[in-house]
Structure 1
Amino acid sequence: MTTLTIQRKPSYVLAVILLTAHVVSAILLWLLPIFWIIKSMVSILIIISLVYYLRKDALLLAKNAVTELTLTEKNQCTMTTRSNAIIICTILNNSFVAPYLTVLVLQPEGNFFADSIVILPDGIDAEAYRQLRVWLRWK
């Protein structure tokens, strides 16, 4: 297996997880004994975070959302975004693989910061998910 191409689709399970985590954090924030103006400002930041990650990682609606991954030998990966931008990356060793969740940690060429892609089983085809997990385990 020299290359593996994966087409991503919206993950509604990830959307529910993100929504739940953000709502719980907002509720806990409002239970804290701090000024309401601070609570309001942090609540706005939580809402912005929710919208950003829903669009980018769960629903794949943002221009920078990764819609296709092509994994090649030597731990190289090519990401294609919704805006058809192609980004060449290196797959880092701290990527996480499990039957219920895969987190790809990628280092884009020319960037200092790594990027991560969260993939749940409902976010790609079942056979592609199995191939991805096998490919990552043996690399």
Structure 2
Amino acid sequence: MNDKMKPIRLNFKPSITLTLMICMMGLGAAAILILPALSWQIKLLAGMAVFTAVAYAVCRHGLLWLPWSCVALRVSSRNQLQLVRRDGRVLSVDVCSDSVVTPYLTVVNCREPDAKWLACIFAPRLVILPDMLDAESYRQLRVWLRWGRARDVSGSKPSERNPF
């Protein structure tokens, strides 16, 4: 059996669906701020914090405008994952076991090998919806995340691999 797989390269495009979902969640959070019996200054401060968080999430995950937004993903023939950021930096990462793969939403939690503790806290997380890729590329990513990454090309058994 051939130990090598065909490399995968996925280029992400901005997601209108994800942008609208984040904005709707922000509006819901802002609406909830109206209910408590707090002074208007505290509500305004909390509302500004919600607006800032929504704007950041939309720019980073929905529209991919920030320099540290992930605009491409590469899986090498040796089953190694690399993230390409908008600023051109390429990160070699490992996929965490708590990643979620469904037909309508994929959340890829990553960690950089040999990262410092602060980098572990701010590890890359990708939120991928079907409108960010063409259908075939999205299918390839889901198949690789479900079954392809479990195969280790170094020959060790899955139980011998270190999950952290």
TM-score, structure 1 as length reference? 0.93
Q: Which runs of 5+ in 1 are unaligned?
A: none
| 1:6 paired residue number | 10
Consecutive aligned runs of 4 or more in structure 1 exceeding 4 Å deviation = none
**Structure with the higher fraction of residues in strand conformation:** 1
Matches within 5 A, 1:50-89: 50-72=54-76, 76-89=80-93
| 1:123 paired residue number | 132
Matches within 5 A, 1:18-97: 18-72=22-76, 76-97=80-101
Structure 1 or 2, whichever has the larger Rg, is 2
Counting matched residue pairs gives 139
TM-score, structure 2 as length reference? 0.80
Q: Equivalents in 2 of 1:89, 1:73: separation in Å?
A: 15
1:104 pairs, out of 108, 114, 121, with 108
RMSD between aligned residues: 1.4
- The residue type paired with residue 118 of structure 1 is V
Q: Equivalents in 2 of 1:107, 1:75: separation in Å?
A: 15
Over the matched positions of the two proteins, sequence identity in percent amounts to: 32
- The residue type paired with residue 99 of structure 1 is P
Q: Which runs of 5+ in 2 are unaligned?
A: 150-164
- The residue type paired with residue 128 of structure 1 is S
The reply on whether 1:133 has 2:157 as its aligned counterpart is no
Moved more, 19-28 or 78-87: 78-87
